[in-house]
Amino acid sequence: MEIRNAQKGDEYGILHLIKELAKYEKAPEQVVNTAENLAIDLFEKKNCFALVSIENEKIIGFALWYFSYSTWKGNCLYLEDIYILPEFRKHGIGSQLFDLVVQIAKKEGVKRMDWQVLEWNEPAIEFYKKKNAILDSEWINGRLFF
């Protein structure tokens, strides 16, 4: 198993995992992104960044993040998604990906790293608790779609 920065051509495998994550989160119809758009955002515009976990030349997991800004803290990192195919879970891959993103956040000097987890996703909640994460139930998410 290898973990590396995403490179051109990985957008297809990453998008496949994004669709698998959407199925897991019971919202597959909400994925409208394409591999082509993902490639532009990752490699041309650099709107986001990704790590991929590979086994036998197949992408089996990924972490995707971007940099954000807090008026209170300054530069931040937002972990948009981390996902491992079910058959590869419980081998520490998610932990390795998460820890690498934490290292990137520290190297970049961000003041805070954020992410969301669905309230019913107990395995993810337990994973983040083991990482000593603060899971805040006070804030309500706001969102607009265009």
Expressed as residue numbers, the domain containing 15 is 2-116
Spatial distance between the Cα atoms of 52 and 46, rounded to a whole number of angstroms: 16
Predicted model pTM:
0.93
Q: Are 113 and 102 in contact (CB under 8 A)?
A: yes
CB-side neighbour CA atoms (13 Å) of 12: 4
pLDDT at 7: 98
Residue 76 in domain:
yes
| Average pLDDT per 10 consecutive residues for the chain, totaling 146 residues | 97 98 96 98 98 97 98 97 96 97 98 94 92 88 82
* CB-based contacts of 74, cutoff 8 Å, min separation 6: 110, 111
Active-site option among 24, 66, 83, 128: 128
Residue 131 in domain:
no
pLDDT at 120: 92
Domain tally for the chain? 1
Residue 128 known to be catalytic? yes
pLDDT at 137: 85
Amino acid at 12: Y
Residue 122 in domain:
no
Residue 55 in domain:
yes
CATH number at residue 17: 3.40.630.30
Residue 40 in domain:
yes
Residue 130 in domain:
no
